[in-house]
């Protein structure tokens, strides 16, 4: 996933249905000698049944919790889309504008408190490691860097086949990837993680080798490719970015329909368009284990 120099200003056209990070606060500076518990938080985004087509989808949202032993305060840190999921997955086709218009950014949100009931009722709230105040403060610096340079949310993972060792053409960039990056950073700083099973959701598209098409200017600009521009607009036409989670899944099934009928998908990734020659099983929602990390430097006890 490409890193960017800075986060662009958001366009006023992009309106969020729910305010992003409404109670967010700055990450506090912890005392070096503090001992901080780190929790894995996971809960279903929404329990959804669609006839017998896909049965029960395990679409989970992931976050990290912290508890300071010196102050007794709890904190939650998560990463999610600024303008909701639909906007990160589908563009707006605006009148008078040739190019599809994307309202797509994701960012970290940090706030005091852990909503125990939310995470425990349907999901997971488990202690995964313990870190020092110093490690927490170093992690906070890294979060700032990660947040300023990894700015686009990416819904899809694209790979060659369902086989575990198959080529991954494009990796998703969403809430669980942020949690995994955070764990890895803590492991690199010396955190030792417990040996527990941890699973994450991926929405995976299956495709032959992707074909690079160009960027917005080269396709939709004055010297652009009119035929290709029309095909991309036509592909995105049925989808509506401003929508509820429920409507998002209805659109997801429209995509499956189109993709299976035409074996094609147009992907917008890091500001570039790609054509995916789709192949069976086309799309899968996978809930699979990703082990907790092992640090890159010698670990030490706390």
Q: Which position among 118, 175, 242, 263 bears the catalytic label?
A: 175
Q: Residue 121 in contact with residue 175, Cβ under 8 Å? A: no
Active-site residue, selected from the candidate residues 61, 88, 103, 109 = 61
Give phi and psi for 35, each to the nearest 5: -115, 120
What is the sign, positive or negative, of the torsion defined by CA atoms of 161, 231, 212, 8? Answer: negative
Catalytic residue status for 118:
no
**56 has catalytic annotation:** no
> Given its phi and psi angles, is residue 44 left (phi above 0), alpha (psi -120 to 50 degrees) or beta?
beta
The rounded distance, in Å, linking the Cα atoms of 92 and 77 is 30
**Which whole-number Å values give the CA distances from 253 to 52, 145, 258, in the listed order?**
13, 36, 9
Q: Please state, in angstroms and rounded to a whole number, the distance separating the CA atoms of residues 98 and 245.
A: 27
What is the rounded CA–CA span in Å between residue 252 and residue 153? 17
Point out the residues that are catalytic: 61, 175
């Amino acid at each position: 996933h490409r890193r960017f120099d800075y986060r662009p200003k958001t366009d006023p056209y992009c309106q969020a249905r729910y305010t992003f990070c409404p109670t967010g606060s700055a990450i506090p500076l912890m005392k070096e000698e503090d001992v901080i518990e780190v929790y894995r938080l996971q809960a279903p985004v929404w329990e959804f049944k669609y006839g017998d087509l896909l049965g029960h989808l395990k679409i989970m949202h992931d976050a990290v919790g912290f508890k300071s032993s010196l102050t007794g305060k709890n904190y939650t840190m998560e990463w999610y889309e600024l303008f909701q999921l639909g906007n990160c997955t589908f563009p707006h086709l605006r009148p008078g504008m040739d190019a599809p218009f994307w309202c797509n950014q994701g960012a970290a949100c940090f706030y005091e408190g852990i909503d125990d009931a939310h995470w425990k009722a349907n999901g997971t709230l488990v202690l995964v490691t313990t870190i020092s105040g110093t490690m927490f403060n170093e992690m906070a610096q890294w979060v700032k860097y990660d947040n300023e340079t990894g700015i686009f949310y990416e819904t899809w993972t694209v790979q060659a086949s369902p086989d575990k060792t198959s080529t991954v053409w494009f990796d998703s960039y969403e809430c669980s990837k942020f949690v995994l990056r955070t764990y890895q950073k803590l492991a690199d700083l010396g955190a030792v993680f417990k040996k527990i099973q941890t699973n994450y959701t991926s929405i995976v598209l299956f495709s032959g080798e992707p074909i690079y098409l160009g960027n917005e200017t080269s396709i939709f600009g004055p010297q652009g490719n009119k035929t290709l521009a029309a095909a991309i607009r036509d592909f995105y036409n049925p989808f509506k970015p401003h929508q509820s989670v429920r409507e998002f899944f209805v659109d997801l099934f429209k995509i499956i329909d189109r993709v299976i009928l035409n074996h094609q998908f147009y992907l917008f990734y890091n500001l570039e368009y790609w054509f995916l020659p789709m192949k069976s099983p086309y799309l899968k929602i996978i809930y699979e284990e990703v082990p907790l990390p092992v640090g890159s430097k010698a670990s030490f006890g706390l």
